[in-house]
Amino acid sequence: MPGIKQLTLELGVNHKTIETAVNLLEKEGTLVGQGPRRRRKIEMSVESFKKSVRIGVLLFEQDDRKLDYVAEILFGLSEAGFTPFILSASLSELGMDVNRVASLVGETNADAWLVIAGSKEVLSWFANQSLPTFALFGRWGDSSIAGAGPSKAEAYRDATQKLLAFGHQRIVLLARSQRKLPQPGIPERAYLSALQDGGIEVSDFHFPLWKNSKEDFYKCLDSLFKVTPPTALIVQEFNLFGAVEQFLGTQGVRVPDDLSLICADSDVYFHWRTPKIACFRFDSKSWVRHVLRWAFKIRMGEEYCRQIRSKAEYVDGGTVGPAPRSF
């Protein structure tokens, strides 16, 4: 392997980055040092490097394959010689039922698993199996498996405080049931705490429970806007956000004149929208790198259970405004 100075010149990359990469390859056993002023030896053979590892990808719902970071992960794994494949059934289609998930896993030929937005029960089941598993999103905090996702608690608090400062009282968080049951997650607790700090008596209105189906989601929206509608909505996912926008359009609700709207997710097209969507922003590149690092460790027969969170921040937009006087 060429030295760090030569690699820096050839690749046009900062020498600190090269040093970090070389040290990582040494720890993985791909490079072996041969003493001072001597080049490192490449130890891993081409055959062992290209050894295929089948990685089953269990999506939360089928539309997740369209997410940019999911596409990057699948492409990166394929380019590195792994064999990622998406299962025909998603966690939503399986009802997040542990027995159904276990049955599907048992019928599938996979060496490792990438699970997206799994519930605490599902991820706990994976952690108790002898299955190398990576949890992208989901409630993996107490599980002894590798994981990655955004840390959203501070962003939720900032977004809620922004709405409170604009005079909003009827603020609603729309999130999946697994984010509320058996108890709210850390980001959701930050949202509820911010409401209480703002002098609001929190009820189910502020964090409604609905079944994970399109039909029940629209029933929830109908119920919210039937009598005393909210003046602000925080929608937890990009997919749900599109459904909310469609619903508001059919109801003649104007954003932000009648209702302030925030998406607690990120999408590359948000900045093209008019008005610009108020949303959460986070670095998904670190997740892609983390999944690849996990996969390389698995291929080398090593256990890897590191968990990382990238900080999310609330980004203001034109979809947030003062609470309407009457609606």
Lowest pLDDT segment from 19-23, 77-81, 155-159: 19-23
pLDDT one-digit tens code per residue, 228-257 = 999 999 999 988 999 999 999 999 999 999
Rounded Cα distance between 139 and 143, Å, is 8
Rounded Cα distance between 288 and 298, Å, is 16
For the domain spanning 52-150+283-312, the CATH number is 3.40.50.2300
pLDDT one-digit tens code per residue, 16-37 = 888 888 887 777 677 888 877 7
The residues of the chain that CATH labels 3.40.50.2300 are 52-150+283-312, 153-281
Rounded Cα distance between 304 and 296, Å, is 10
What would the two tokens of residue 188 be?
Answer: 């959701």
Rounded Cα distance between 287 and 134, Å, is 11
pLDDT at 151: 95
Rounded Cα distance between 70 and 106, Å, is 24
What would the two tokens of residue 15 be?
Answer: 């020498």
Q: Decide: 55 and 270 in contact? Cβ < 8 Å.
A: no
Q: Phi first, then psi: give them for residue 26, nearest 5 degrees.
A: -65, -40
Residue 269 pLDDT exceeds 90: no
For the domain spanning 153-281, the CATH number is 3.40.50.2300
Q: Phi first, then psi: give them for residue 148, nearest 5 degrees.
A: -155, 155
What would the two tokens of residue 29 be?
Answer: 């056993």
What would the two tokens of residue 67 be?
Answer: 């997410």
Residues of 215-241 as b/e, b for ≥16 C-beta within 10 angstroms?
eebeebbeebbeeebbbbbbbbbbebb
> Which residue is listed with tokens 């190398």?
132
pLDDT at 53: 93
In 3D, which of 50, 15, 43 has the Cα closest to residue 27?
43
